Amino acid sequence: MANDPAKDRYDPPAIGSEFEEDYFSEINPGELFRLFPNDRQKMYRKSGDNFAFDIKERVEIQFQARDKVYVKS
């Protein structure tokens, strides 16, 4: 039986996104995050239990504890 090089190649599993999904309440104060897993989205820095600072517009925004956020790993 002959070897078929096209079938012998190693095909590793796909790597997921470089962003990890978390809840707002689970990230630490001072940590940077986005609302969507995309590099083009605005970045925020958590400043308190329910507040984060919008880095681009320089305003503080209120979040709920169960809001989903994405942290770049």
- pLDDT tens per residue across span 11-51: 666 566 689 999 999 999 999 999 999 889 999 999 999 99
What pLDDT score does 25 carry? 96
What burial class does residue 69 get, using C-beta atoms within 10 Å of its C-beta: 0-12 exposed, 13-18 middle, 19+ buried? Answer: buried
What pLDDT score does 3 carry? 67
What pLDDT score does 73 carry? 81
